Chains A and B, each alone.
Chain A
Amino acid sequence: MKFSIGAKIWLSFVAILIVIVVIGSTAYQSINTLIEAAGWRSHTYQVRTALAVVLSNLKDAETGQRGYLITGEDRYLEPYRAALQQMDGVQAELKTLTADNPAQQQRITSLAPLVQAKMSELKETIDLRTGKGFEAARAVVLTDRGKNVMGQIRAIVREMDDAEAALLKTRDEGVQESSRASQLTILIGFLAAVIIVIAAGIFLTRNIGQPLREVTGIAEKISSGDLSVGLDPGNRSDEVGQLLRAFSRMGESLRGMAAVAEKIAAGDLRVEIVRQSERDALGIAFGKMITTLRDMNGELQGGIDVLSGSASEILAGTTQISTGAEETATSISETSSTVEEIKQTANVASQKSKTVSETAQRAAQVSQAGRKAVDEVADGMQRIYDQMAQVADSIVRLSEQTQQIGEIITTVNDLAEQSNLLAVNASIEAAKAGEQGKGFAVVAQEVKSLAEQSKQATVQVRGILGEVQKATSGAVLATEQGSKAVEVGLKQSNEAGEAIRQLADTIVENAQAAAQIAISAQQQLAGMDQLALAMDNIRTASSQNIASARQSEITAQGLHDLGQKLRGMLARFKL
């Protein structure tokens, strides 16, 4: 098999083409024959139709002639005239159609004079009928000249028709034979084509598909990274052979690249890349990769240094954070206990504020009662004031009566004085009377004594009256002071009423404020509860923070160790 795959495929397709060409030409010939036969059949039918037309025209002319002869009416001549016009055309067509048939030409030649004779006979009769009347025309008809000619024409026409029919039959038989041969040829050609196609398919599958599948399997393996596949191209010089050889080279090249990659993986970045061609993407990429790796190595060195330093700082930082978190936890514990104490205090405050609110309510009621009491006090004060006025009036009247008593006392005193003088005078007169006047002297003495007593009594009464006057003055003064005190008291009670009213208002406000405070205290208590809860959460979070800080510390230590390890790893790269 020294042919290339293209040649093999060409050969297969050419064999199939030859079979198709044989079948196609055979079918073409057969169809041409059939078309020709059909044309001849049509030609025969045209000839036969033309013959029928000739005969029909003659009959039409005869019919028109007869009608005219019988009636003499010109309108009966219309079929005759139409037939007369067509007759020459039909004969010429017939002659053209049968031009390839000498026998028919001969018959047409013999037919033409007969037709001419008939037509002239018809014209003669019509002219006679026109010119000489019916009888003359009838005489011509009765000669049977026209009838005979007509008989001859019919005989020739039938003869021509029969000849055409015989010709048609012969042609049909030829056509049938040729079409049968065509059918056979097409059938054989089809079978041959089927066999050739199957053979070519099997051959092409065996010769091209099998090696291609193998190559595909190898490509699959390479694509999955297996470069160990060995290939035997054999001595095939066709495209498959070339393909196998190309695959072999690709495998070698890839193995070389793999070896380079192996070296790079081992840390040897000194390898030189040999490019297979100008467009060796892998080679270029490897070259770039090595360059990039060298650069990256340098950058990594720097990065690791930074990382190492940062890890150390982070370690220190996390240690501090850990310490700080522990301190925070201690502080949070203290805060938490403080919050608990505050909560209890708030609880107490809430209860106290509730009590205060209730007390304020009671105080508001008490202040209302106080207000009423103060109003009553004001009324009482007013009454006291009025009664004080009455008392003052009574005392003044008493004082006036005392004065009257004083006047009476003065009168009595005067009387006593005069009585005294009278008694003295009586005594003197008694003394002058001598011994007879002694008894009178005693009476006078007694009168004097009475006068003295009266005087003393008046003195006493005067003293008592003075005291009474003093007492009434004191009482008036006291009443005045009392009145003033009551006035002041009235004013003060009004002020007190006002004050208590304001106090009541204030107390009501206080009660409201206390109620609000109680509510606030309640809210505060609720807030403290939430705060305590929050502090618990914070404490939990704080302990978690401590754990996290320790974890961070461990992690930072790990990071630090990682930095050291990376530094060690980077040292393995040979630049």
Chain B
Amino acid sequence: MTASTPKRIDWTAVRERMAAAEATLRETLEPSSQAHQQVLQQRARQMAQVPASDAAGETLEVLQFVLAHEHYALASRFVDEVYPLRELTQLPGAPRFVLGIVNVRGRIVSVIDIKRFFDLPERGVSDLNKVIILRDGSMEFGVLADVIEGVNLLRMSEIQPPLPTLTGIRAEYLHGVTAQRLIVLDAQKLIRDPAMVINETVES
């Protein structure tokens, strides 16, 4: 009918492809014993790896997280738990870096945004759906995070001191930076910062 010859559909190839896909799906959903074995062997090899020895030096266990595309780390000693951000209640009259309060298993915890606390520029959209609850003694508050990367051990030697040009509030809370551009924050200073204690009276 038309001048251009229509693309001929190779129905047998299509059927073969369909059959192959179906077979693959079935195999994936019900993996064979051989695949099982492979997975198990791979896992065993990973487990068999010797973790980095403590003998190499003093280590620091940190919790790594991502906030506004920057990788941060906090000493896990001061981390109580991580928690998905739910039912945030904003507080009127609070400083700008205080987003609001959440209820964590009966405890009322305030949530701060360290970007704003550090006066970092807002860069793009972020999830901000995780809360890292820090605790040291009686002080307890939550820090917002995009992604929780997990707990990791850092050698103290790996941690390099921050740049001497860095001054102000950021220099105070910064513990160091690793070669992997991981910003290690000083959790203790952060917790003990008096700025964190908000005690304002709203004059009516």
* 8 A Cβ contacts from A528-571 to B: none
- Asked if B79 and A428 make an inter-chain contact with CB atoms under 8 angstroms apart, the answer reads yes
Residues in A whose Cβ lies below 8 Å from that of B77: 431-432
* 8 A Cβ contacts from A406-427 to B: 417-418, 420-421, 423-425, 427
Residues in B whose Cβ lies below 8 Å from that of A425: 81-82
Q: Give 8 A-B pairs besides A424-B150, A442-B47 with Cβ atoms closer than 8 angstroms.
A: A421-B84, A421-B148, A424-B82, A424-B148, A425-B82, A427-B151, A432-B77, A448-B150
User: Does A489 count as interface, using CB distance less than 8 angstroms?
Assistant: yes
A-B pairs, top 3 by smallest CB distance, nearest first, are A427-B151, A425-B81, A424-B82
Interface readout for A429-451 with B: 1 if CB under 8 Å, 0 if not?
Answer: 00110000000011011001000
Cβ of A450 to closest chain B Cβ, rounded Å: 10
- Asked if A418 and B151 make an inter-chain contact with CB atoms under 8 angstroms apart, the answer reads no
User: Does B61 count as interface, using CB distance less than 8 angstroms?
Assistant: yes
Residues in A whose Cβ lies below 8 Å from that of B76: 427-428, 431
- Interface SS of chain A: helix
* 8 A Cβ contacts from B72-108 to A: 76-77, 79-84
User: Does B63 count as interface, using CB distance less than 8 angstroms?
Assistant: yes
Contact for B63 among A418, A428, A492, CB less than 8 A: A428
CA distance A423 to B1 in the complex (A): 64
* 8 A Cβ contacts from B33-65 to A: 47, 61, 63
- Asked if A421 and B83 make an inter-chain contact with CB atoms under 8 angstroms apart, the answer reads yes
CA distance A425 to B76 in the complex (A): 10
User: Does B175 count as interface, using CB distance less than 8 angstroms?
Assistant: no
Q: Which residues of B approach A to under 8 Å, CB–CB?
A: 1, 47, 61, 63, 76-77, 79-84, 130, 148, 150-151
Q: Which residues of A approach B to under 8 Å, CB–CB?
A: 417-418, 420-421, 423-425, 427-428, 431-432, 441-442, 444-445, 448, 489, 492
- Asked if A428 and B84 make an inter-chain contact with CB atoms under 8 angstroms apart, the answer reads no
Of B63, B76, B81, B150, most buried by chain A (CB within 10 Å of CB) is B150
CA distance A417 to B81 in the complex (A): 15
Cβ of A166 to closest chain B Cβ, rounded Å: 173
Cβ of B71 to closest chain A Cβ, rounded Å: 15
- Asked if B63 and A424 make an inter-chain contact with CB atoms under 8 angstroms apart, the answer reads yes
- Asked if A428 and B81 make an inter-chain contact with CB atoms under 8 angstroms apart, the answer reads yes
- With contacts A428-B76, A431-B61, A431-B76 taken as known, whether A418 is within 8 angstroms of B84 at the C-beta atoms is yes
CA distance A448 to B64 in the complex (A): 13
- Asked if A417 and B151 make an inter-chain contact with CB atoms under 8 angstroms apart, the answer reads no
Cβ of B180 to closest chain A Cβ, rounded Å: 17
- With contacts A418-B84, A421-B82 taken as known, whether A428 is within 8 angstroms of B1 at the C-beta atoms is no
Residues in B whose Cβ lies below 8 Å from that of A448: 150
Residues in B whose Cβ lies below 8 Å from that of A417: 84
- Asked if A489 and B1 make an inter-chain contact with CB atoms under 8 angstroms apart, the answer reads yes
Residues in A whose Cβ lies below 8 Å from that of B1: 489, 492
Residues in B whose Cβ lies below 8 Å from that of A421: 82-84, 130, 148
CA distance A492 to B1 in the complex (A): 10
Cβ of B131 to closest chain A Cβ, rounded Å: 10
- Asked if A431 and B148 make an inter-chain contact with CB atoms under 8 angstroms apart, the answer reads no
- Asked if B84 and A427 make an inter-chain contact with CB atoms under 8 angstroms apart, the answer reads no
Residues in A whose Cβ lies below 8 Å from that of B63: 424, 428
- Asked if A420 and B81 make an inter-chain contact with CB atoms under 8 angstroms apart, the answer reads no
Cβ of A138 to closest chain B Cβ, rounded Å: 185
Residues in B whose Cβ lies below 8 Å from that of A424: 63, 82, 148, 150-151
Cβ of B14 to closest chain A Cβ, rounded Å: 13
CA distance A432 to B150 in the complex (A): 15
Q: CB-nearest residue of chain B relative to A438?
A: B51
CA distance A424 to B130 in the complex (A): 12
CA distance A489 to B77 in the complex (A): 74
Cβ of B69 to closest chain A Cβ, rounded Å: 18
Cβ of B128 to closest chain A Cβ, rounded Å: 14
Cβ of A447 to closest chain B Cβ, rounded Å: 10
- Asked if A427 and B150 make an inter-chain contact with CB atoms under 8 angstroms apart, the answer reads yes
CA distance A166 to B83 in the complex (A): 231
Q: CB-nearest residue of chain A relative to B65?
A: A424
CA distance A425 to B131 in the complex (A): 12
CA distance A442 to B153 in the complex (A): 12
CA distance A420 to B79 in the complex (A): 16
Residues in B whose Cβ lies below 8 Å from that of A423: 150
Residues in A whose Cβ lies below 8 Å from that of B47: 442
